[in-house]
Amino acid sequence: MNTETTTCKAEFIQRFTSTCRGARLARRLAVQQLDAWGYGYGTQTSETVAHIVAELATNAATHGRVPGRDFELRLLLSESGALRIEVSDTRSERLPPLPEPAPDTESGRGLFLVAALADAWGVTPRQVGKTVWAELVL
């Protein structure tokens, strides 16, 4: 979904504290917003979006955290039914290539999950920080 050429049907934007609590709230509000847009709780769409938002928001709160700065969640629903999830933080470092995590590690699989669940995903630099995005065709 190219947000510059696609007509936006609905948009949700909210900032959250860069904490585990902020990441949890981002996931909850994303699912609540999807329900308001007609994608009910417990549906496959709702569950997929919850997983993607949870991973991206947790990464923003954990790895993209700059003390005193929030992260932002943005959901864009296009007229065609595509959903773009964006999580922006204020840390400018680029994401490293995704190394295959060792089988016995307890972390390092979040972006693999995002890649598996989303139709497309990527990272876009901003003036301050970066935006990690994922797109779903609903």
- In terms of C-beta density within 10 A (0-12 exposed, 13-18 middle, 19 or more buried), how is residue 14 classed? middle
Residue 32 lies in a domain: yes
Kindly state whether residue 1 falls inside one of the protein's structural domains: no
Pairwise CA distance, residues 138 & 119, whole Å? 10
* pLDDT tier, 28 (very low <50, low <70, confident <90, very high otherwise): very high
Q: Which residue has the higher pLDDT, 33 or 81?
A: 33
**Stronger pLDDT, 99 or 50, i.e. the higher one:** 50
Domain count, the chain: 1
In-domain check, residue 101 = no
pLDDT of residue 43: 96
Answer whether residue 23 is part of any domain: yes
Whether 122 is covered by a domain: the verdict is yes
- Asked if residue 102 belongs to a domain, the reply is no
Measured on CA atoms in the order 116, 28, 5, 128, is the torsion positive or negative?
negative
Query: CATH number for the domain including 51?
Result: 3.30.565.10
Domain holding 74, by residue range, is 8-95+108-137
What integer pLDDT is reported at residue 90 of this predicted model? 87
36 pLDDT above the threshold of 80: yes
Residue 101 has pLDDT above 70, yes or no: no
Assigned domain for 78 exists? yes
Residue (of 119, 106, 62) closest to 87 by Cα position = 62
Tell me the whole-structure pTM to 2 decimals.
0.86
Portion of the chain with pLDDT greater than 70, in percent: 83
Residue 1 pLDDT: 55
